[in-house]
Chains A and B, each alone.
Chain A
């Protein structure tokens, strides 16, 4: 009896393993599992006859039957894994696509290039401890001119240069008016940038626009010096253009700063050896700067014997045009989508 049963098990095991190995798809393997290991499966049927065996025989048969069962299970699982892989491989081959086809985009819009530049400036100055302030664009002459030592009769106030709304209300020609308002409303320490639109009576051409954007900075505190202005501008420019740029300070004149400077940047395109961008000078005129004139501080109720400050201003259009090598300022205000998409 035991021999018979053992032979039956061996035969069943051998047949099952061969069938599993030969099975070509997952369904066949599944069927085999049911057929052999299922409730009504062949191996189960064999085991059901175990009751007829003696107590000594049972464990021998049982052990062997379990070995065969495990071997069959293992073979099934291996075969399934192999077939699955084959199945997927074939599917993958069928599903291959042309990856060079254009992508399907949820196209995002883009910020205006000047916004990108302004964003960089804000980041740089915020990281240096400055806050960002704004003010009205239609402004009183006293904030744009008088309090900045630009008195009645100064050419900057001419109707040929400045847009007037009335005798004492104009479109601001610089965001320095925001600095005046800031100084009037706050006590030092002050460290602000004031980005915004300004207006000058220039006809539109490749390098001029009656509307343009400035970003001015003002620091007022105890012991602020010309050296601080230099160091701040160097840090600012290096963060904006990379650490290899050099700055050159040239004496200049503004009514609201003394000493005043114009600041040149070593040409970031040629590195100073001379190219078309810097007109072969190696330097590019970047901005105006200076130590705040004591009278300006006094005008704003700040005692110049105690406090001092510096200020500077850059043109956003200029930085933007140089960064992206835009050759005509009109592009910035024409808003052609083919232009706007590029940045």
Chain B
């Protein structure tokens, strides 16, 4: 909402400094976003009378004028002032200036807009073909105005003010910015949804009055009217969506430009002036916050207005020239034959005011907000009118608006108002009354505001008080009808608090004890994060939605996902059921950003479709890495460290069928036969699909499972009391035999074996063709005695026998 401060001051003398005004309004709840001095950057522009004008001696096109600019002084380029009083010599190329004409003159040091490109231009003294020029006469656009503001202006020449309706007031030297109504400040407010009444000058005047404790002078508008036949019927068919419809007829309409005081207020509010009748509807909407419409009565067929739901498929051409096909949910204003406007949104093609309009119907109605909003959305036109209706309308204000419009018609002399007005009123207008208990309000606020202070604040806001009928000690607060947001005690509390000042209310810290248990998985997630961070992985955060196509790209088959009905785009169309595509995107982005290596992880949510209404949301730990020194085993090292820290005893099984992963470098992790997750090198095809030009490795682990199998507090094991014996074994075997199998054979065949560690693996020279060498360190220890060499050798012999059975021999 853009508010003209000048307009506001018609109702409340809020003439303090703009900074103070803005702060005060913001702190009482009408947030000022910014303000604009409308005269900026214009400067030093006065009214001048051309004393004489003659041809430039050295030019065909230039003229030299002597202009009386009153007693004003310009600023010389050196910063000093130029003595005023004497005529100013101005050289001009304009051809429409004559002696005695009144013109706007920008004096030396003044600022105007450039005629051609609108840039800000400072005027200095100069010579044009040898003749000194000490200022400039201005055209309308050099003053930042339009032909709508100044309909009499010459399009290509200097603005000749003699044709101005208010020319009689002009004198040389007069401030042009004041005269043309440019001296004003437009204040931009952010009005919250609950306060549609503040989308108006009067609403904000009331707020300013309450905020600064100033009297607000709003009179009930009135018109005289003329006797005569109305020749108009109004019928509301859909009373649910239209609770009140007021109409009035203006005859003998004279379409003309509006007076300056009106157009300048519209302009400051960001609305273009059009003609007196249209301007009146806009003016009233801005002033009272109630949208209005004016129909040319010629085009109201049958002199009848019907407010009804559109017939399915019914068509209307709107003011914007486009045809819309309507549905039955749309409320329309129709005449006897056809819809002539979409209620509260926009008028139809011929419904508007034209230059030859003779008779006008003013509409001031109450349409249902939700309906208007949905209709505006459906037809893709959100208008100033619909924006106001959708937030809610006060039925009582409809009358004020109509009366104000009719008052203005008479004030502007643009027609005769027929005395009888139509009021089809089905609105419920019982005033809202809220029990007023100052102690209760203090209880809500935690404050100690005295009763009389609270009442004084509420009265300032237009509330009234009365006693309950039942009980003398009980008071009721009567809500002004315009305040459609008021219903409960807590609403009153906010009113008191915001005018009293939120920051004046004391602060206290409650001693709270939560009876709600914390979610245990959060702490677990933090622990897991800390471990993988310790392994060099950086935490990522990726979007929860992905492209449906990314499953296929990632080698994930048959993936049914929760689908977003209205996604931003295909790229973010479904809720992920796997973390892998997100992680691959991270790896790809890093790779393509030329980061040589990286380790990443995310504990992200996947959303699995379920038979319930909501998805099954699961947390997945996804690890991803790439880089020269990374391989399957570096990834496995991270996983091993994690499992050890969590106390999980997991088994690794090779998996060849997972299409996301390299068939020879992928494994499934299980605990007690339950799948914890999968890890491996990414399949080269998948890497290509994601444009990752190097080997990449990922793991996906189910956090819920990890938590289930994790041991929160491992039990202490006694430290060994007796020394250990160690033996190294270098073995030769077929390459197909895995390290895991060998370790299993070794562990399964000897007593007192404490540890088996593979410390070397080798193929090549010195190893027979088709064999590999595996070297193990074995640690033996007895719990209760020192192990002897002999016992150890026996154990080793047993191990070797077991290995030989599997064709694994000592090297």
Contacts and interface: CB of A to CB of B under 8 A. Distances in A.
Interface of A: 106-112, 114-115, 119, 128-134, 136-140, 152-153, 155, 158-160, 163-166, 168-169, 171, 182, 186-192, 197, 199, 201, 203, 210-211, 219, 221, 223-228, 230-232, 234-235, 248-253, 258-262, 291, 293-294, 308, 332-338, 340-341
Contacts of B521: 134
B443 interface: yes
Given A109-B601, A197-B605, A291-B444, A136 B614 contact: yes
Contact of A250 (B370, B502, B533, B537): B502
Given A108-B534, A132-B519, A153 B511 contact: no
B515 A251 contact: no
Nearest to B31: A250
Contact of B590 (A224, A226, A335): A335
Contact of A228 (B510, B514, B565, B566): B510
A227 B598 contact: no
B565 A226 contact: no
B490 A259 contact: yes
B259 interface: no
Contacts of B536: 106-109
Given A132-B522, A221-B510, A226-B505, A110 B533 contact: yes
B507 A231 contact: yes
B507 A337 contact: no
Given A106-B536, A155-B390, A231-B508, 13 more contacts: A153-B373, A191-B513, A225-B446, A228-B446, A231-B509, A248-B27, A251-B29, A259-B494, A260-B494, A332-B541, A335-B590, A336-B593, A340-B539
Contacts of B564: 163-165, 171
Given A114-B541, A250-B26, A227 B446 contact: yes
Contacts of A107: 536
Interface stretch (B191-199, B250-258, B689-697): B191-199
Contacts of B544: 137, 171, 197, 199, 211
B276 interface: no
Nearest to B522: A132
B191 to A, nearest CB: 9
Interface in B294-348: none
B765 interface: no
B54 to A, nearest CB: 52
Nearest to A106: B536
A226 B446 contact: yes
B518 interface: yes
B539 A109 contact: yes
Interface in B591-641: 593, 595, 598-601, 605, 607, 613-615, 617
A258 B497 contact: no
B193 to A, nearest CB: 6
B600 A335 contact: yes
Contacts, number: 251
B537 A169 contact: no
A189 B517 CA distance: 12
Contacts of B617: 136-138
A107 B541 CA distance: 20
A335 B740 CA distance: 36
B516 A139 contact: no
Interface string B546-583: 00000000000000001111111000100100000000
Given A109-B535, A138-B614, A187-B515, A258 B494 contact: yes
Nearest to A292: B490
A201 B491 CA distance: 31
A139 B562 CA distance: 12
Contacts of B509: 128, 228, 231-232, 234-235
B8 interface: no
A335 B540 contact: yes
B538 interface: yes
A223 B442 CA distance: 11
Contacts of A253: 192-195
A109 to B, nearest CB: 4
29 contacts: A108-B536, A109-B538, A109-B599, A109-B600, A112-B540, A131-B514, A159-B565, A163-B567, A186-B516, A190-B514, A191-B512, A211-B543, A221-B510, A223-B510, A226-B497, A230-B505, A249-B502, A250-B26, A250-B29, A251-B502, A252-B29, A253-B194, A259-B494, A335-B538, A335-B542, A335-B586, A336-B595, A340-B540, A340-B600
A119 B525 CA distance: 12
A203 B614 CA distance: 25
Interface residues of B, number: 86
A273 to B, nearest CB: 15
Nearest to A192: B516
B193 A226 contact: no
Contact of A337 (B446, B511, B600): B600
A224 B450 CA distance: 20
Contacts of A332: 541
A136 B618 CA distance: 10
A185 to B, nearest CB: 8
Given A140-B614, A201-B568, A130 B517 contact: no
A112 B497 contact: no
B445 interface: yes
Contacts of B373: 153, 155
A5 B218 CA distance: 134
Interface in B1-39: 26-29, 31
Contact of B503 (A106, A197, A248): A248
A197 B545 CA distance: 12
A115 B529 contact: yes
B539 A138 contact: no
A258 B490 contact: yes
B443 A294 contact: no
A328 B696 CA distance: 29
B630 to A, nearest CB: 13
A259 B497 contact: yes
Contacts of B497: 226, 251, 259
A128 B26 contact: no
Nearest to A338: B595
A164 B566 contact: yes
A165 B565 contact: yes
B532 interface: yes
A294 B28 CA distance: 23
A190 B516 contact: yes
A226 B502 CA distance: 9
Contacts of A106: 536
A192 B519 CA distance: 11
Contacts of B562: 138, 165
Contact of A226 (B26, B31, B447): B447
Given A137-B605, A253-B192, A333-B542, A129 B513 contact: yes
A275 B519 CA distance: 41
A252 B192 contact: yes
A219 to B, nearest CB: 6
A140 B586 contact: no
B541 A110 contact: no
A259 B514 contact: no
A245 to B, nearest CB: 14
Contacts of B533: 108-111
A225 B446 CA distance: 5
Given A133-B519, A189-B513, A259-B493, A294 B566 contact: no
Contacts of A140: 613-614
A107 B565 CA distance: 44
B503 to A, nearest CB: 6
Nearest to A195: B522
A133 B518 contact: yes
A251 B568 contact: no
B757 interface: no
B488 A333 contact: no
Contact of B515 (A132, A186, A197, A294): A186
Contacts of B508: 225, 227-228, 230-231
A201 B502 CA distance: 33
Nearest to B544: A211
